[in-house]
Amino acid sequence: MTDEIIIENLNVKLNGRIVLENINFRLKFPRFIAIMGPNGAGKTTLLKVLTGFIKPDEGEVSVYGLNPIRDKFKLAKIVGYVPQRERIEVSIPMKVKDVVLMGLLCKRRFPRIPRRENLLRIKKVLEAVGIEELYDRIFSHLSGGEQQKVLIARALISNPRLLILDEPLTAIDVKSQWEIIEFLKKLELEEKIGILMVTHDINPVVEYVDEVLLLNRKLIAYGEISKVLTEENLRKAYGPNVRVVTSGKLCYAITGDIHA
Ligand SMILES: Nc1ncnc2c1ncn2[C@@H]1O[C@H](COP(=O)(O)OP(=O)(O)O)[C@@H](O)[C@H]1O
Ligand SMILES: [Mg+2]
């Protein structure tokens, strides 16, 4: 099995609209790779293609040698997915331990009965993320940063080789942002877990990320940050009128929205 994501000629239409068009790339892990692009660029759709939730209209997708649609159960064992937090249903008063346990059970075929060793594993994974004291707390009562850490624990419980995260830093406090980034970097360096993360803002991760993939329906650019985040590429991604500021070797797009 190769630690690579390979996408060839990917096309995705949703409701008759082209959302991803002729995408080609090859990502080698373990690395820390960020996906950036404006609101509606297709970032979440791309992650859903990689995790088998959306079937492409055209193209070949290989995640660590597996086809996300055909090999869904095998893929679930090696990939942890952290969806966008605001899309998660939190009205059911679930405890943290149950949220994390779901990460394990929903990847199993039926019957989905928790075993004793699963509970020990929950404690271990909460400890790894630094939130063991939240074990018995109600998920919906936690702060945004705490919830995000629980969702990361849930994605890690099955010992994945690749962790895919959709805007884990959006709408959480700065301290939690740092803790999460440092933790993800440690996973990459020490556990050799690949990290693929959609992020709205490059600032918090600029020192940690190995490569950036810039997307707006089409692939705009992919590679080292300083080569990708150029004024030309940012204008292609965010539109000709975006305000671009330069700081050191990097350019930043000032988009004004907070949910790119
Ligand atoms: N289930 C869906 N049905 C129809 N259109 C969708 C669906 N999900 C997303 N879209 C549309 O696809 C485009 C890309 O969405 P998305 O992948 O969520 O973008 P991003 O995560 O980059 O903001 C948007 O225009 C969005 O409205
Ligand atoms: Mg999104």
- Pick 117 or 172 by higher pLDDT: 172
Place of tokens 């330069």: 246
Q: Rounded to the nearest whole angstrom, what is the distance from the C-alpha of residue 243 to the centroid of ligand 1?
A: 24
Closest C-alpha to ligand 1, atom 4: 14
Confidence of residue 260 (pLDDT cuts 50, 70, 90): very low
pTM above 0.85, yes or no: yes
Ligand number, closest to the Cα atom of 50: 1
Summarised one tens digit per residue, pLDDT across range 176-229 is 999 999 999 999 999 999 999 999 888 889 889 999 999 999 999 999 999 999
Check residues 110 and 177 and name the one with the higher pLDDT: 177
135 CA distance to ligand 1 centroid (A)? 34
Return the ligand number nearest the Cα of 18: 1
Query: What is the longest distance spanned by two Cα atoms in the chain?
Result: 57
Index of the ligand 1 atom closest to the CA of residue 17: 5
Residue 32: the pLDDT is 97
Dihedral, CA of residue 190, residue 194, residue 198 and residue 204, to nearest 10: 20
Ligand 1 centre and the CA of 56: distance in Å?
Answer: 14
Please state the atom number of ligand 1 nearest to the C-alpha of residue 46. 17
Rounded to the nearest angstrom, the distance between the alpha carbon of 191 and the centre of ligand 1 is 33
Q: What confidence category does residue 255 fall into, taking pLDDT thresholds of 50, 70 and 90?
A: confident
**pLDDT band at residue 241, thresholds of 50, 70 and 90?**
confident
Average pLDDT over residues 103-120: 73
* pLDDT band of 109, cuts 50, 70, 90: low
- DSSP states along the chain: --SEEEEEEEEEEETTEEEEEEEEEEEESSSEEEEE--TTSSHHHHHHHHTTSS--SEEEEEETTB-TTTTHHHHHHHEEEE--GGGS---S--BHHHHHHHHHHTTSPSP----HHHHHHHHHHHHHHT-GGGTTSBGGGS-HHHHHHHHHHHHHTT--SEEEEESTTTTS-HHHHHHHHHHHHHHHHHH--EEEEE-S-SGGGTTT-SEEEEEESEEEEEE-HHHHS-HHHHHHHH-TT-EEEEETTEEEEE---S--
Nearest atom (ligand 1) to Cα of 215: 22
> From ligand 2's centre to the CA of 84, what distance in Å?
7
Which ligand is in closest contact with the Cα of 39?
1
pLDDT in tens, 163-189: 999 999 998 999 999 999 999 999 999
- Calculate how far, in angstroms, residue 12's C-alpha sits from the geometric centre of ligand 1: 10
- Given this model, what pLDDT does residue 259 score? 45
Do residues 234 and 244 make contact, with C-beta atoms less than 8 angstroms apart?
yes
Specify the residue with its C-alpha closest to ligand 1, atom 5: 14
| Predicted pLDDT of residue 202 | 85
Length of the chain, please? 260
Q: State the closest ligand 1 atom to the C-alpha of 84, by its place in the atom list counted from 1.
A: 21
Average pLDDT in the 31-41 region?
96
Query: Which residues have C-beta atoms less than 6 Å from ligand 1?
Result: 14-15, 19, 37, 39-45
% of residues, the chain, pLDDT over 70: 92
Q: Any idea where the domains of the chain sit in the sequence?
A: 4-89+159-254
What is the sign, positive or negative, of the torsion defined by CA atoms of 97, 99, 105, 110? positive
Domain 4-89+159-254 annotated CATH 3.40.50.300:
yes
Check whether 90 has a pLDDT greater than 70.
no
Best mutation site among 10, 11, 12, 14 for ligand 1, i.e. most ligand atoms within 8 A of its Cβ?
A: 14
Q: Are 189 and 138 in contact (CB under 8 A)?
A: no
Rg of the Cα atoms in the chain:
18
Ligand 1: centre distance to CA 207 (Å)? 29
Pick from 206, 184, 207: nearest CA to 36: 206
111 Rama sector, left if φ>0, alpha if ψ -120 to 50, beta otherwise: beta
If you average pLDDT over residues 114-129, what whole number do you get? 89
